[in-house]
Amino acid sequence: MRKILIIAVIFIFTISCQKKNDILDTYLQVNVLPDNILNEYSKYGAKVNNEIYYTNNEFYSNVRFMSGGEYDLTLPSTFMVTQLNKKNIILEIDINKLKNVDNVISSFFVQPYKTAKQYSVPYLTDSIGIIINTKYINETAITKWDDFWANSNINNILIKADMRDFFSIALKSLGYTANTMMEEEIREAYDRLTVLLPRLNIVTYDEIEKALVSEENAIGIVYYSEAYRLIKQNKNLKFINPLDGSLMWIRSFTIPKASDNVNEAYKFIDYMIQPETAAQVLMAYGLVPLLNYNIIKPYLPQELQLHYEVFMSDENLKKLEIQQDVGSAVNLYLTYWNKLINNQTN
């Protein structure tokens, strides 16, 4: 009887492990990797079981307290990689397990944080900028963030409630780094934002999309990838990369230490950094893959070749600053952010 019981336990354990090996649990932000790619991967490897999140704060709140193998693979924003490593949450990446790693632009493995090459594989990039409807707003009226303050006639500016985006706009308009850790600069940015706040309309992305496409509103603050999707729906819209600089970020693959399907995680990363797959991501959401252009170009229609070339041009990249972890200064940002939001609701 005891022998039968032991065999049964072993059988159940084996089945359990086998089930897990057939599933890859991912944790991805909404509108980053399209469902059809995740579903297609099941023909190549494991079935992908994806959970979505909407903000970096939501992501970090869930990941930092992982107790087991909740997720096998994540794709967080740039500055999160450092925070995850500080918490001892992610594995060091073994580049030798990625046969397609040479497809990734090598310079993006040397990002302004120590853990870039060791603990992540850079994959996608994006930036924040201004979108206007040229039927109602002259293109010369807004060329930089500072124009928001210089031109008091610019009203009802649509924006999402993202702390770092908010502060980056004011900091860049002041000529500061968007990654400042100095309280006097953060406070000055806060003071500047309080002046602009009455002319901001804080909404969700879905609301921004509807209002801009329908021409209910004529101006918004959106990401380069979002602008691509919006312009496809309304040709009167135009994206402006501010002359006083802006924030860009990189989404990088990371493997949690709690993952119980590490080999499949590597296999998935390798699949995603193929040019054919990366091109599908670009076509779906407008996010720019960090793959060498010569290998991805054959898979892109002409309009997306231009989309890629404009973003990755030397002229554009010179205006952009990679978002970094601001360490303990994040508490200063949070303090002033909460004050700002309270001012907006009062």
- Domain extents for the chain? 2-125+249-316, 127-246+322-345
Kindly report, residue by residue over 236-292, the tens digit of the pLDDT: 999 999 999 999 989 999 999 989 899 999 999 999 999 999 999 999 999 999 999
- Encoded tokens for 44: 């190549």
Q: How far apart are CA 81 and CA 168, in angstroms?
A: 19
Query: Does residue 15 register a pLDDT over 80?
Result: no
Instruction: Please tell me the distance from the alpha carbon of residue 113 to that of residue 20, in angstroms, as a whole number.
Output: 33
Tell if the pTM clears 0.85, that is, is over it. yes
The class of domain 2-125+249-316 in CATH terms is: alpha beta
pLDDT in tens, 197-216: 999 999 987 899 999 999 99
Q: Report yes or no: 230 and 222 within 8 Å, Cβ to Cβ.
A: yes
What are 248's strand-pairing partners? 127, 322
Query: Beta strand pairing status for 246-253 and 320-322?
Result: parallel
Does the fold of domain 127-246+322-345 match that of domain 2-125+249-316?
Answer: yes
Residue 64 has φ and ψ, to the nearest 5°, of: -65, -20
String of DSSP letters for 206-237? HHHHHHHHTTS-SEEEEEHHHHHHHHHH-TTE
Query: H or E element: which one contains 84?
Result: helix 78-86
Q: Using pLDDT thresholds of 50, 70 and 90, give the confidence band for residue 346.
A: low
Note the CATH number of domain 127-246+322-345.
3.40.190.10
